[in-house]
């Protein structure tokens, strides 16, 4: 684990007066602690808040929904997509060209995730899943629909599974990513998958200026299952924030 890629962990601002004149010698300290360290530092913080979604409290009138559920009569032990359960696509921020330390090559930024949920009846124990992947691929990565989650699988730290939920009150859920990294509140896409998921996308700049860019477009899929259809899985909040750790 690293505290980021910069030397200092904080930026050092420089002014144009310190480098601006022609024929000035280039000061090593400015280049190293200022420009080099600063660029790396700001890039470490360039991850984006991708999902900051919460239903309303119900204390105010109007304004949309107060929770998201699966189908009203779900079959037991079957994965269902939740209402509002495809949050994407958006472009995953990625490290990875041929420069620099090898442990950053190809890795997307890690994503901090939180999910707040409940069951509507304690007799129906619910399990929730977050799957970060391109649209149309999420079913490939869900664990078996029933029974206990299987052991960690390589390449699966982009899937997060909650502990079983029997509470009928909303709470931030505990869980773990399904790969060997076993993150409690984070998911990580392997570089091999990011490469496999890269597509070419429209990035036109005007109606007549046609451009494309390569991107790793992903969506967070929110699934849930219940042990007994008396208990319907329900969510109130989901968040996903990229950050530059590795």
Partner 1 sequence: MSANVPHLRPVPEIDTAIRAGEPVRGDTWMGLGGLANWMNGHGSMIVPWHFSGHTISNGATDTYRYNVSPKAQTRMRVWVVLARANSVGGQLEIAAPSGASRTTYRLSTVRDRVVPVVFRELVTTSTGTQEITLDLKASGTGTVTVDAVSCYEQTRASIGLDTTDWGVDLESLRPRQPIFDAANVSHPGVCDAYDNLDARRTSLLQWSVPTGDSAHTTSASYLALFETPLRVLAPIRNVSLSPMDYVAYAYIKATGGSVFAQATTAAGAVSNSTSSTSYTWLNVGTLSVACEDLSASDGVPAGSVDTIKIEVKVGTGTRVDIAGVSVIRETKPQ
We find the least distance from the C-beta atom of residue 126 to partner 1, in angstroms, to be 16
Q: Which of residues 11-40 bind partner 1 (CB under 8 A)?
A: 11, 13-16, 19-23, 26, 28-29, 31-32, 34-40
Strand partners, 129: 161, 223
Q: Residue 173 Cβ, how far from partner 1 at the closest point, in Å? A: 12
**Dihedral of alpha carbons 44, 50, 55, 61, sign:** positive
Nearer to partner 1, 143 or 183 (CB): 183
Q: Which of 119, 162, 229, 239 binds partner 1 (CB under 8 A)?
A: 239
Please state, in angstroms and rounded to a whole number, the distance separating the CA atoms of residues 80 and 178.
Answer: 19
Q: Tell which phi-psi region holds residue 33, choosing left (phi > 0), alpha (psi between -120 and 50) or beta.
A: alpha
Span from 96-104, 125-133, 140-148, 159-167 in contact with partner 1 (CB under 8 A): 96-104
Q: Is 180 in the site for partner 1 (CB under 8 A)?
A: no
* Cα of 144 vs its chain's centroid, Å: 22
Could you tell me the smallest distance in angstroms from the CB atom of residue 8 to partner 1?
7
**76 binds partner 1 per the rule CB under 8 A:** no
Token pair listed for 178: 């399904």
Q: With beta carbons less than 8 A apart as the criterion, state whether 217 and 201 touch.
A: yes
- Nearest Cα neighbor of 103 from 212, 191, 234, 39 is 191
Tell me the closest approach of the beta carbon of residue 190 to partner 1, in angstroms: 15
- In whole angstroms, give the CA distance from residue 141 to residue 178: 10
Q: According to CB under 8 A, which one of 77, 104, 121, 164 is a site residue for partner 1?
A: 104
Q: Dihedrals φ, ψ of 30, to 5°?
A: -65, -45
Q: Per rule CB under 8 A, is residue 142 in the interface with partner 1?
A: no
> Under the criterion CB under 8 A, does residue 156 sit at the interface with partner 1?
no
**Which of 100-108, 121-129, 144-152, 159-167 is the region at the interface with partner 1 (rule: CB under 8 A)?**
100-108
Residues of this chain, 210-229, that bind partner 1 according to CB under 8 A: 211-215, 219
């Amino acid at each position: 684990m690293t505290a980021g890629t910069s030397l200092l962990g904080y930026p050092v601002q420089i002014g144009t007066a310190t480098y601006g004149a022609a024929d000035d010698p280039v000061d090593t300290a400015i280049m190293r602690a200022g420009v080099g360290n600063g660029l790396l530092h700001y890039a470490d913080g360039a991850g984006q808040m991708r999902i900051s979604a919460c239903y309303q409290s119900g204390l105010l009138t109007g304004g949309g929904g107060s929770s998201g559920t699966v189908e009203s009569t779900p079959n037991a032990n079957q994965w269902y997509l939740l209402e509002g359960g495809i949050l994407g696509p958006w472009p995953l921020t990625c490290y990875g060209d041929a420069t620099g330390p090898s442990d950053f090559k190809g890795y997307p930024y890690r994503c901090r995730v939180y999910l707040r949920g409940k069951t509507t009846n304690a007799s129906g124990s619910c399990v929730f899943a977050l799957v970060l992947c391109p649209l149309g691929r999420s079913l490939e990565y869900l664990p078996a629909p029933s029974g206990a989650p299987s052991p960690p699988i390589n390449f699966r730290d982009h899937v997060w599974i909650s502990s079983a939920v029997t509470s009928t009150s909303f709470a931030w859920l505990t869980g773990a990513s399904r790969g060997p990294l076993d993150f409690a509140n984070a998911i990580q896409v392997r570089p091999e998958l990011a490469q496999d998921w890269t597509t070419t996308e429209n990035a036109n700049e005007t109606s007549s200026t046609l451009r494309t860019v390569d991107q790793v477009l992903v969506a967070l899929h929110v699934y849930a299952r219940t042990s007994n259809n008396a208990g319907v899985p329900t969510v109130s909040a989901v968040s996903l924030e990229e950050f530059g750790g590795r």
